[in-house]
Homo-oligomer: A and B are copies of this chain.
Amino acid sequence: MTNTNAKLIALDWGSTRLRAFLLGTDGTVLETRQSEQGASTLSGESAFAQAFAAITTGWTALPALACGMVGSQHGWREAPYAPCPADAAALARAALQVKDKLWILPGLMRDGAQPDVMRGEETQIVGALALHPELAAQSCLVLPGTHSKWARVGQGRVTGFATHMTGELYALLRQHSVLSRLMPADGSAPPSPQAFLAGVDAAREDGALSHQLFAVRTLGLFKRLPPADLPDYLSGLLIGHEIAHELKAGAPECLALIGDPALCERYALALGRFGVHAPLQLDNTAPAGLWQLAQTMGLD
C-alpha cells in the first residue's frame, strides 16, 4: 500500500510500546500502527532496525523521526539529553541520525543537585504548543503517568520540569505493600470519586506522605472506608501530594493536562480541589510534536 500524500513516518517509541504514524500534509494522521516492541524489549541495533522495518512494512521510504526511550542508553543508540531551557529548535538540532532517513530525538534534562530527565514527553510538549499556541507564552503542562512530568513553559521554551513517581508508587503500594491486604483484587471494584477526593483533601493538609499512606491501612482497619474504596483513597493521597507540592507557589494561570484521557480526568478532578478548574486536556500530542520537529529539521 502506498499513500502519495504521505510526508513523514513519526514514531512514538517508548519502553513498552512502539507506535508509528504515517503523517500527510500538515501533519494529518493517515494511518496508525502499534506493536509491543518497546525499547525495553529490544537489544542491539539490528533488533531495533528489524522492529522499525516490521512496523513500517509497505510504507513508502519517507523521512522518519522517533522520540522516546528508543534514544536512551539501552535504546537503538543514545541521543544525549538536551539541557533546559530548550525549544523545538534546540531539540531538532540535537536529533541523532541512526540510518538513512531516520532520526532519533534527544530527551530533555534539567540539571542541578538532583537532576531530572524526560524522554518522549518533550515531543508531546512541542505538539501541545503547536496545537495550542496560547500555551507557548507561559504555562504549566502536566503529563500524568507512571512517572508524571510537570513542565514549565515560557516564551516557547521548556524552562524547567519535575518528575513525580506517582504512578509507580501507586502500583507498588497497590500490589506489594501492607496496604494491599485490605483491598479487593485489582479492577474488581467500581471507582469511588468520593474516596479519591478524600485522599486528595488529606494530602492538602501538608502531612508527610510516608505517614499519610499508613491511613489507607487504619481507615480500612476501623471500617471507616470500605475495602473497595481504599485503592481510590490511596490514589487520591498520591496525586494530591504531587499537586500540592507543584502548586505550592500558587496555581498557574494556564495549566494543561496531556495524556491518557481517563488519567487526565482524574487529575482534573483533583486539581479542582486546589482551585484549578477545567484545565485544557489533550490526548496524545506526540504525532503533532514529531510533525512540528520534522518541520523544524526540514525533513519534509
By a beta-carbon cutoff of 8 Å, the part of chain A in contact with chain B is: 73, 109, 113-117, 147, 162-166, 168-169, 172-173, 176-178, 202, 207-215, 218-219, 221-222, 224, 238, 241-242, 244-246
Say yes or no: A241 contacts B115, CB within 8 Å: no
Residues of B within 8 A of A173 (CB): 172
Say yes or no: A164 contacts B211, CB within 8 Å: yes
How many Å lie between the Cα of A245 and that of B213 in the bound state?
14
Residues of B within 8 A of A115 (CB): 215, 218-219, 221-222, 224
**Nearest-neighbor residue (CB-CB) of A238 within chain B:** B210
Say yes or no: B215 contacts A73, CB within 8 Å: no
Residues of B within 8 A of A218 (CB): 109, 114-117
Say yes or no: A165 contacts B114, CB within 8 Å: no
Nearest CB of B to A130, in Å? 27
Residues of B within 8 A of A178 (CB): 147, 165, 168
**Nearest-neighbor residue (CB-CB) of A173 within chain B:** B172
How many Å lie between the Cα of A213 and that of B116 in the bound state?
11
How many Å lie between the Cα of A214 and that of B161 in the bound state?
12
Say yes or no: A113 contacts B214, CB within 8 Å: no
Residues of B within 8 A of A116 (CB): 214-215, 218
Residues of B within 8 A of A211 (CB): 162-165, 242, 245
Residues of B within 8 A of A202 (CB): 113-114
Residues of B within 8 A of A212 (CB): 114
Say yes or no: A210 contacts B176, CB within 8 Å: no
Which of A176, A213, A218, A242 has the largest number of chain B CB atoms within 10 A? A218
How many Å lie between the Cα of A43 and that of B244 in the bound state?
43
**Nearest-neighbor residue (CB-CB) of A150 within chain B:** B211
Residues of B within 8 A of A209 (CB): 208-210, 241
How many Å lie between the Cα of A163 and that of B178 in the bound state?
13
In the A-B complex, list the 7 residue pairs whose CB atoms are closest, starting with the nearest. A208-B245, A114-B215, A164-B210, A163-B214, A115-B218, A172-B172, A209-B209
How many Å lie between the Cα of A202 and that of B127 in the bound state?
34
Residue in contact with A242 in the complex, picked from B166, B172, B208, B238, CB distance below 8 Å: B208
Nearest CB of B to A166, in Å? 5
How many Å lie between the Cα of A222 and that of B116 in the bound state?
10
